[in-house]
Amino acid sequence: MFFLCSQFNRCITSQLIKWFSNFREFYYIQMEKFARQAIVDGVNDVKGLSVARDCELFRALNVHYNKANDFQVPERFLEVAEITLQEFFTAIFLAKDSDPSWKKAIYKVICKLDSDIPQEFKSSNYL
Protein backbone atom coordinates (compact mmCIF):
# COMPACT_ATOMS: atom_id res chain seq x y z
CA MET A 1 0.00 0.00 0.00
CA PHE A 2 2.77 2.45 0.87
CA PHE A 3 5.42 1.44 -1.67
CA LEU A 4 3.66 1.89 -4.95
CA CYS A 5 6.91 1.74 -6.90
CA SER A 6 7.48 -1.85 -5.80
CA GLN A 7 5.96 -4.99 -7.25
CA PHE A 8 5.03 -7.49 -4.56
CA ASN A 9 4.82 -10.99 -5.91
CA ARG A 10 4.34 -13.99 -3.66
CA CYS A 11 8.05 -14.54 -2.99
CA ILE A 12 8.81 -10.96 -2.19
CA THR A 13 5.83 -10.79 0.12
CA SER A 14 6.73 -13.95 2.00
CA GLN A 15 10.29 -12.74 2.35
CA LEU A 16 8.97 -9.49 3.77
CA ILE A 17 6.81 -11.41 6.22
CA LYS A 18 9.82 -13.48 7.18
CA TRP A 19 11.82 -10.34 7.69
CA PHE A 20 9.30 -8.78 10.03
CA SER A 21 8.87 -12.09 11.78
CA ASN A 22 12.58 -12.05 12.54
CA PHE A 23 12.21 -8.53 13.86
CA ARG A 24 9.47 -9.66 16.21
CA GLU A 25 11.52 -12.61 17.36
CA PHE A 26 14.45 -10.39 18.22
CA TYR A 27 12.12 -8.20 20.24
CA TYR A 28 10.80 -11.11 22.28
CA ILE A 29 14.26 -12.60 22.78
CA GLN A 30 15.45 -9.33 24.27
CA MET A 31 12.39 -9.12 26.49
CA GLU A 32 12.96 -12.57 27.92
CA LYS A 33 16.66 -11.90 28.36
CA PHE A 34 16.12 -8.69 30.32
CA ALA A 35 13.26 -10.14 32.34
CA ARG A 36 15.46 -13.01 33.46
CA GLN A 37 18.27 -10.60 34.25
CA ALA A 38 15.91 -8.56 36.42
CA ILE A 39 15.08 -11.67 38.42
CA VAL A 40 18.76 -12.47 38.82
CA ASP A 41 19.23 -8.90 40.01
CA GLY A 42 16.71 -9.52 42.75
CA VAL A 43 13.77 -7.55 41.42
CA ASN A 44 10.61 -8.88 43.02
CA ASP A 45 7.94 -6.47 41.82
CA VAL A 46 6.89 -5.59 38.28
CA LYS A 47 6.50 -1.99 39.36
CA GLY A 48 10.27 -1.82 39.47
CA LEU A 49 10.45 -2.53 35.75
CA SER A 50 10.17 0.30 33.28
CA VAL A 51 11.36 0.95 29.76
CA ALA A 52 12.73 4.43 29.15
CA ARG A 53 14.78 5.81 26.29
CA ASP A 54 17.96 5.71 28.36
CA CYS A 55 17.70 2.13 29.57
CA GLU A 56 19.75 -0.82 28.41
CA LEU A 57 16.83 -2.69 26.91
CA PHE A 58 15.78 0.25 24.80
CA ARG A 59 19.33 0.70 23.55
CA ALA A 60 19.52 -2.93 22.50
CA LEU A 61 16.28 -2.63 20.54
CA ASN A 62 17.18 0.71 19.03
CA VAL A 63 20.55 -0.50 17.82
CA HIS A 64 18.77 -3.31 16.04
CA TYR A 65 15.82 -1.47 14.54
CA ASN A 66 16.94 2.11 14.32
CA LYS A 67 20.72 2.09 14.39
CA ALA A 68 21.16 5.43 12.65
CA ASN A 69 18.30 7.00 14.57
CA ASP A 70 16.50 7.70 11.32
CA PHE A 71 13.25 8.21 13.15
CA GLN A 72 12.04 9.03 16.62
CA VAL A 73 10.70 5.97 18.39
CA PRO A 74 6.99 6.48 19.16
CA GLU A 75 6.10 6.82 22.84
CA ARG A 76 3.63 3.99 22.40
CA PHE A 77 6.49 1.65 21.59
CA LEU A 78 8.00 2.29 25.01
CA GLU A 79 4.67 1.60 26.68
CA VAL A 80 4.18 -1.68 24.88
CA ALA A 81 7.80 -2.66 25.47
CA GLU A 82 7.33 -2.06 29.17
CA ILE A 83 4.16 -4.13 29.25
CA THR A 84 5.96 -6.92 27.40
CA LEU A 85 8.89 -6.86 29.79
CA GLN A 86 6.54 -7.02 32.75
CA GLU A 87 4.57 -9.87 31.19
CA PHE A 88 7.75 -11.90 30.77
CA PHE A 89 8.94 -11.02 34.25
CA THR A 90 5.69 -12.05 35.90
CA ALA A 91 5.50 -15.30 33.96
CA ILE A 92 9.08 -16.25 34.83
CA PHE A 93 8.67 -15.06 38.41
CA LEU A 94 5.69 -17.38 38.79
CA ALA A 95 7.71 -20.21 37.20
CA LYS A 96 5.25 -20.46 34.33
CA ASP A 97 8.20 -20.95 32.01
CA SER A 98 8.25 -24.59 33.00
CA ASP A 99 5.40 -24.99 30.54
CA PRO A 100 6.85 -25.52 27.04
CA SER A 101 4.28 -23.16 25.54
CA TRP A 102 4.38 -20.53 28.24
CA LYS A 103 5.15 -17.73 25.79
CA LYS A 104 1.96 -18.18 23.81
CA ALA A 105 -0.13 -16.46 26.47
CA ILE A 106 2.20 -13.48 26.33
CA TYR A 107 2.16 -13.33 22.55
CA LYS A 108 -1.62 -13.31 22.61
CA VAL A 109 -1.62 -10.25 24.84
CA ILE A 110 1.12 -8.32 23.08
CA CYS A 111 0.06 -8.87 19.49
CA LYS A 112 -3.16 -7.04 20.30
CA LEU A 113 -1.09 -3.99 21.15
CA ASP A 114 0.45 -3.73 17.70
CA SER A 115 0.34 -0.15 16.48
CA ASP A 116 -0.60 1.09 13.06
CA ILE A 117 2.21 2.15 10.76
CA PRO A 118 3.46 5.59 11.87
CA GLN A 119 2.08 8.36 9.71
CA GLU A 120 5.48 9.55 8.57
CA PHE A 121 6.18 6.15 7.01
CA LYS A 122 3.15 6.58 4.82
CA SER A 123 4.48 9.77 3.35
CA SER A 124 5.55 9.32 -0.24
CA ASN A 125 8.63 11.47 0.27
CA TYR A 126 9.75 9.75 3.48
CA LEU A 127 12.77 8.05 1.93
Q: How far is the CB of 19 from DNA (least distance, A)?
A: 4
Q: Which is nearer to DNA, 93 or 102 (CB)?
A: 102
Alpha carbon separation from 78 to 4, 48, 113 (Å, rounded)? 30, 15, 12
Q: How far is the CB of 126 from DNA (least distance, A)?
A: 18
Q: Is 69 left (phi over 0), alpha (psi -120 to 50) or beta?
A: left
Q: How far is the CB of 101 from DNA (least distance, A)?
A: 7
Per DSSP, helices labelled H in 1-127 are: 10-40, 56-65, 75-93, 102-110, 119-122
Q: Which is nearer to DNA, 15 or 72 (CB)?
A: 15
Q: Which is nearer to DNA, 93 or 107 (CB)?
A: 107
Q: Which residues bind DNA (CB under 7 A)?
A: 10, 13-15, 17-22, 24-26, 28, 101, 103-104, 107, 111
Question: How many CA atoms lie less than 13 Å away from 99 in the CB half-sphere?
Answer: 11
